[in-house]
Amino acid sequence: MAHRMYYIITYDVSSPKRLPKILKTLRRYLNWVQNSVFEGYLTERQSFELEGKIKEIINKKEDSVIFYILRNEEVFKRNVIGIEKNELTNFL
């Protein structure tokens, strides 16, 4: 089994044309947890593929996508105040 890392990805895409493309791409790889935030496990290959796809979609002068990479989800504490927008699943 390939080694997986836990990712939290946030984005700020300014174009109404690019935004649905980013959402669709991220949903193929990770769990949507809140507006502009995705979480989940990726292999190194999946991370590389996802990063490449994002680079093809965004405008680097107008948009921002941030990858937070952790060894696993147990190295941080996740505390939600208010409603949980979307329950996390482990589909990978």
User: What integer pLDDT is reported at residue 92 of this predicted model?
Assistant: 40
Which pair of tokens denotes residue 39? 């979480």
Domain residue extents for the chain: 4-72
pLDDT digits (tens, 9 = 90+) for 57-88: 999 999 999 999 988 666 777 777 777 776 65
The helix-helix angle for 44-57 and 19-29 (nearest 10°) equals: 170
- For the domain bounded by 4-72, which CATH number is listed? 3.30.70.240
User: What integer pLDDT is reported at residue 68 of this predicted model?
Assistant: 93
User: What integer pLDDT is reported at residue 2 of this predicted model?
Assistant: 76
Residue 13: CB atoms within 10 A of its CB come to: 21
- Does pLDDT of 11 surpass 50? yes
Comparing CA positions, the residue from 56, 7, 53 lying closest to residue 30 is: 7
User: What integer pLDDT is reported at residue 87 of this predicted model?
Assistant: 65
pTM (predicted TM-score): 0.81
